[in-house]
């Protein structure tokens, strides 16, 4: 997915909900901070999104822009209308968030996206293979620092799957490997 695809989803979500400010919490949030990221980090064709002030409208987004919608069939990418609780993010992530406002492709829509280390920590809470690969790609490309990801993991309060300690050990091992000569 590229920035123009994300912009298209934002414009469509704005048209459907009447809202202008959206939070993007999935992997495509990387486009806010690193639109030049490698294809491996942008391969997902879905945008996890909710209207910041009206998360209750996420169902409208899901219905009109979601998987198997006409939008998805036409453009090859889709939006998952999610809730605020979908991503497990570190404390104060909003203070570090990247806000895309006034972007010429957004037609007045605003995107709030977690900063790359908050995003990586959140993805590691799921601890799926695809999420670990995604984190490794960012570290290898020099876009994310394992020590910062580890600190952000320590700042996560919710641990419903009990994966925080596992994710923390994994990223600290990555930190040790990246500091070896």
What is the extent of the structural domain holding 172?
Answer: 116-179
Separation CA 67–CA 150 (nearest Å)? 33
Asked if residue 130 and residue 93 are part of one domain, the reply reads: no
Asked if residue 90 and residue 123 are part of one domain, the reply reads: no
Asked if residue 145 and residue 79 are part of one domain, the reply reads: no
Q: Which of 78, 98, 113 is the last residue of a domain?
A: 113
Assign 75 to helix, strand or coil.
helix
Instruction: Write down the pLDDT at residue 138.
Output: 93
Query: For the chain, what is the domain count?
Result: 2
Asked if residue 96 and residue 29 are part of one domain, the reply reads: yes
Q: Quick one: average pLDDT of 53-72?
A: 97
Asked if residue 83 and residue 38 are part of one domain, the reply reads: yes
Name the band, by pLDDT with cuts 50, 70 and 90, for residue 181. Answer: low
Asked if residue 155 and residue 67 are part of one domain, the reply reads: no
Instruction: Write down the pLDDT at residue 178.
Output: 64
Asked if residue 87 and residue 129 are part of one domain, the reply reads: no
Instruction: Write down the pLDDT at residue 111.
Output: 97
Asked if residue 124 and residue 41 are part of one domain, the reply reads: no
Residue 53: C-alpha distances to residues 19, 50, 56, 116 (Å): 8, 9, 9, 23
Q: Token pair of 78, please?
A: 């889709």
Asked if residue 155 and residue 74 are part of one domain, the reply reads: no
- Give 125's contacts (C-beta < 8 A, 6+ positions apart): 88, 153, 156, 159, 161, 163, 164, 167
Q: Which of 80, 113, 146 is the last residue of a domain?
A: 113
What crossing angle do the helices spanning 116-126 and 146-154 adopt, rounded to 10°? Answer: 70
Asked if residue 124 and residue 102 are part of one domain, the reply reads: no
Model pTM score: 0.92
């Amino acid at each position: 997915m590229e920035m123009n695809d994300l912009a298209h989803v934002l414009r469509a979500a704005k048209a459907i909900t009447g809202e202008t400010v959206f939070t993007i919490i999935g992997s495509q949030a990387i486009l806010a901070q690193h639109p030049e990221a490698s294809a491996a980090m942008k391969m997902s064709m879905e945008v996890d999104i909710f209207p910041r002030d009206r998360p209750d409208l996420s169902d409208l987004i899901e219905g009109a822009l979601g998987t198997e919608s006409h939008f998805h069939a036409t453009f090859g990418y889709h939006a998952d209308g999610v809730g605020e609780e979908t991503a497990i993010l570190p404390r104060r992530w909003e203070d570090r968030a990247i806000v895309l406002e006034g972007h010429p492709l957004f037609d007045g829509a605003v995107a709030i996206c977690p900063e790359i280390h908050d995003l990586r920590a959140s993805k590691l809470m799921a601890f799926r293979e695809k999420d670990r690969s995604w984190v490794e790609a960012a570290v290898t490309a020099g876009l994310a620092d394992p020590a910062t990801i580890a600190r952000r993991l320590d700042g996560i309060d919710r641990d419903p799957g009990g994966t925080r300690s596992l994710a923390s050990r994994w990223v600290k091992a990555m930190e040790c490997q990246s500091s070896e000569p």
